[in-house]
């Protein structure tokens, strides 16, 4: 399939200026189609360009599309009966708000007449007391006039989008018409229980306290008649027809998630300099429940030692897990590269660790890592961008001089496509005895007020202590330092 690029994106991809490409077009070295460049034409002139990483931007955009409310035109609306009921409820609310609004107008006119007829402040107070007492005794309670404006502004969303509330935590999230409750919760960063991809395990079973739901996907796990009467459903196979309240708990730390053991298969393997980027696929009957930023143990056979690696993907991705394997794990690299092992099971166990996003912070986020340690923070960055929980996200990327990472093109593309994401490459001289201080100088010059940020940084053990001392000396609270030892 032909992929067309704008000149700006093409220039970033190959690492040249836009006017350089314009010059080649004028000289006939490059041909365009309606002002766009075919990527194959670009690779013909710049054959050394690596383009496999461009899927990362498409991948994040996919997560973002799932993480925000989709346009009404993208979906079928609610069932006709539900649609009418929602409109009736909205009409009742609208009439109520209009009535309250008219009541407020009457009250203001009454007060104004009293003020005009009073000759002194004392006369005003004396006159108003019985008038107000009589008014409120005969008039229903009024509401804030802002409620009316809010209702009018959000009428389309009120009709087409439902909301779910979790009774245990009080968290709320929206649901699109054809989206399962589990999918909606995960894209909102809320890890309610689950354990499979096909409705077979029943672990997500929960009770609907209020509201209407319906099944939209097949489920192998059968609910008893008694459970159905009590309002139990499987969120992985059901959606909401109205606003609902669920009796479901969420996982916020590793202690909230039980250890799982799953046999996966290799879906894809991509070589990135000294790293292997491996995507594993879980069986339909099992799905790893984890939080972004956690790790898993991987073993390839009964004789090999297991290794613990970060999960470099977001929990909202159904049925796949990404890991990055450094080339000093030679046995594992050799195993994953060998095409004969494509269909041989890989055992994973986990999740482990508490290096997860603090969703309740509200601070801007700073991430710091190098090429080899990117997997420790990749899932965290993707989740932060998808949920849009931070006003600003800054990534400080430490790399050796003259050693371009294949990931860097994607970081620049993220910065171009996502308004609040900022990429700061830091070239480190390998002869520098204190490379971290070079990076920290860049952080301090780029960020105005460090204590207003949460830090998610993956470094070697000796560097973490230096970073901790640096941040503490600049007023950053300990709770805002999420310092991750490199595995």
CA dihedral 299, 304, 306, 310 (to 10 degrees): -60
- Regarding whether 462 and 385 lie in a shared domain, the answer is yes
Do 324 and 233 sit in the same domain of this protein? Answer: no
C-alpha dist (Å) from residue 65 to 52, 58, 70, 303, 369: 21, 10, 7, 43, 26
Q: Is residue 93 part of a domain?
A: yes
Over the stretch 280-315, which tens digit does the pLDDT of each residue have? 999 989 999 999 999 999 998 777 789 999 999 888
- Which of the pair, 475 or 303, is modelled with greater confidence? 475
pLDDT at 73 over 60: no
Range of the domain at 439: 364-485
Q: Are residues 193 and 296 part of one domain?
A: no
The larger pLDDT score, comparing residue 81 to residue 356, is at 356
- Tens of pLDDT, residues 385-394: 877 778 899 9
CATH of the domain at 298: 2.40.30.10
Q: What angle do CA 316, 321, 324 make, to 5 degrees?
A: 125
Among 16-30, 76-90, 357-371, 418-432, top mean pLDDT goes to: 357-371
For 7-54, the pLDDT digits (tens) are 766 776 777 766 678 778 877 788 876 567 888 888 888 877 655 445
Task: List the CATH number of the domain containing 369.
Answer: 3.40.50.80
Q: Are strands 364-370 and 453-459 parallel, antiparallel or unpaired?
A: parallel
Is 252 part of any domain?
Answer: no
Of 318, 323, 284, give the one whose Cα is nearest residue 300: 323
- Lowest mean pLDDT segment, chosen from 84-93, 108-117, 314-323, 449-458: 84-93
pLDDT over 50 (residue 142):
no
Q: Looking at 110-124, 160-174, 311-325, which range is the least confident one? A: 110-124
Q: Note whether residue 314 is domain-resident.
A: yes
Domain membership of residue 73 (yes or no) is: no
136 shares its domain with 87: yes
- 372 and 481 in a single domain? The answer is yes
358 located within any domain: no
Residue after which a domain boundary falls, among 157, 181, 216: 157
Give the pLDDT of residue 192: 94
pLDDT at 421: 92
Average pLDDT, the chain: 81
b/e map of 450-464 (b: 16 or more CB within 10 Å)? beebbbbbbbeeebb
- Span 211-226, average pLDDT: 92
Q: Is the pLDDT of residue 140 over 60?
A: no
The last residue of one of the domains, among 90, 123, 157, is: 157
CATH code of 241's domain:
3.10.20.30
φ, ψ for residue 291, nearest 5 deg: -110, 145
Phi, psi of 200 (to 5 degrees): -100, -25
Please report the pLDDT score of residue 82 as a whole number: 54
Determine the pLDDT at residue 85: 61
Please report the pLDDT score of residue 310 as a whole number. Answer: 96
Please state, in angstroms and rounded to a whole number, the distance separating the CA atoms of residues 133 and 325: 75
Q: Tokens standing for 417?
A: 């496509």
Classify residue 239: in a domain, yes or no: yes
Say which range, 14-18, 222-226, 394-398, has the weakest mean pLDDT. 14-18
d(CA 29, CA 126): 90
Within-domain flag for 72: no
pLDDT score of 52 = 47
Q: Does one domain contain both 381 and 472?
A: yes
Residues 297 and 321 in one domain: yes
Q: Which of 157, 180, 213 finishes a domain?
A: 157
Q: What average pLDDT score do residues 227-247 get?
A: 93
Say yes or no: 60 and 84 in one domain: no
Q: How far is CA 216 from CA 93, 157, 245, in A?
A: 30, 21, 19
167 and 139 in a common domain? no
Domain-embedded: residue 357: no
Rounded (5°) CA angle 422-58-36? 95
DSSP type of residue 146: H
Q: What is the pLDDT of residue 69?
A: 36
pLDDT of residue 121: 55
Q: Provide the pLDDT for residue 177.
A: 74
Peptide bond before residue 351 is cis, with ω within 30 degrees of 0: yes
What predicted TM-score, i.e. pTM, was given to this entire model?
0.69
Q: 8 or 267, which is more confident?
A: 267
Indicate if 143 and 209 belong to the same structural domain: no
Q: Are 361 and 454 in contact (CB under 8 A)?
A: yes
Domain check: are 153 and 186 in the same one? Answer: no
49 shares its domain with 142: no
| Predicted pLDDT at 441 | 92
Measured CA to CA, the distance from residue 306 to residue 329 in angstroms comes to: 11
Confidence category of residue 157, pLDDT binned at 50, 70, 90: very low
Question: What is the total count of domains within the chain?
Answer: 5
């Amino acid at each position: 399939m032909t992929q067309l690029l704008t000149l700006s994106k093409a220039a970033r991809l190959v690492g040249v200026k836009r006017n350089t490409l314009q010059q080649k077009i004028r000289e006939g070295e490059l041909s365009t189609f309606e002002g766009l460049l075919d990527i194959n034409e670009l690779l013909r002139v710049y054959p050394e360009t690596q383009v496999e990483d461009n899927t990362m931007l498409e991948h994040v955009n996919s997560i973002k599309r799932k993480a925000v409310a989709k346009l009404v035109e993208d979906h079928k609306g609610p069932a006709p009966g539900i649609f009418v009921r929602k409109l009736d409820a909205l009409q009742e609310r609208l009439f109520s708000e209009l009535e309250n609004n008219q009541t407020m107008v009457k009250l203001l006119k009454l007060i104004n007449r009293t003020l005009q007829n009073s000759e002194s402040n004392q006369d005003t107070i004396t006159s108003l007391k019985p008038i107000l007492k009589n008014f409120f005794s005969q008039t229903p309670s009024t509401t804030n006039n802002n409620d009316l404006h809010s209702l009018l502004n959000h009428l389309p969303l009120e009709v087409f989008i439902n909301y779910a509330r979790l009774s245990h935590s009080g968290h709320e999230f929206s649901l699109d018409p054809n989206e399962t409750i589990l999918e909606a919760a995960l894209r909102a960063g809320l890890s309610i229980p689950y354990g499979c991809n096909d409705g077979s395990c029943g672990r997500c079973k929960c009770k609907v306290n209020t509201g209407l739901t319906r099944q939209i996907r097949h489920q192998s796990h059968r609910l008893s008649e008694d459970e159905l009467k009590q309002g139990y459903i499987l969120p992985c196979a059901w959606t909401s027809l109205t606003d609902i309240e669920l009796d479901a708990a969420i996982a916020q730390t590793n202690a909230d998630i039980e250890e799982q053991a799953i046999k996966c298969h290799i879906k894809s393997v991509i070589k990135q300099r000294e790293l292997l980027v491996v995507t594993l696929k879980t069986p339909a009957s099992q799905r790893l429940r984890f939080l972004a930023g956690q790790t898993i143990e991987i073993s390839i056979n009964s004789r090999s030692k297991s290794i613990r690696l970060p999960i470099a993907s977001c929990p909202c991705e159904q049925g796949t897990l990404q890991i990055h394997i450094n080339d000093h794990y030679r046995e594992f690299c050799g195993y994953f590269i060998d095409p004969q092992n494509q269909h041989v099971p890989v055992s994973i166990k986990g999740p482990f660790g508490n290096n997860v996003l603090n969703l309740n912070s509200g601070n801007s986020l700073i991430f710091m890592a190098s090429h080899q340690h990117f997997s420790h923070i990749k899932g965290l960055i993707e989740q932060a961008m998808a949920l849009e929980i931070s006003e600003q996200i800054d990534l400080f990327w430490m790399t050796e001089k003259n050693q371009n990472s294949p990931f860097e093109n994607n970081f620049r593309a993220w910065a171009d496509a996502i308004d609040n994401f900022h990429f700061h490459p830091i070239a480190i001289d390998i002869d520098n005895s204190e490379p971290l201080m070079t990076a920290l100088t860049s952080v301090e010059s780029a960020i105005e007020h460090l204590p207003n940020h949460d830090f998610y940084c993956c470094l070697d053990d000796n560097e973490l202590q230096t970073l901790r001392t640096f941040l503490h000396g600049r007023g950053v609270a300990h709770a805002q330092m999420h310092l991750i030892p490199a595995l």
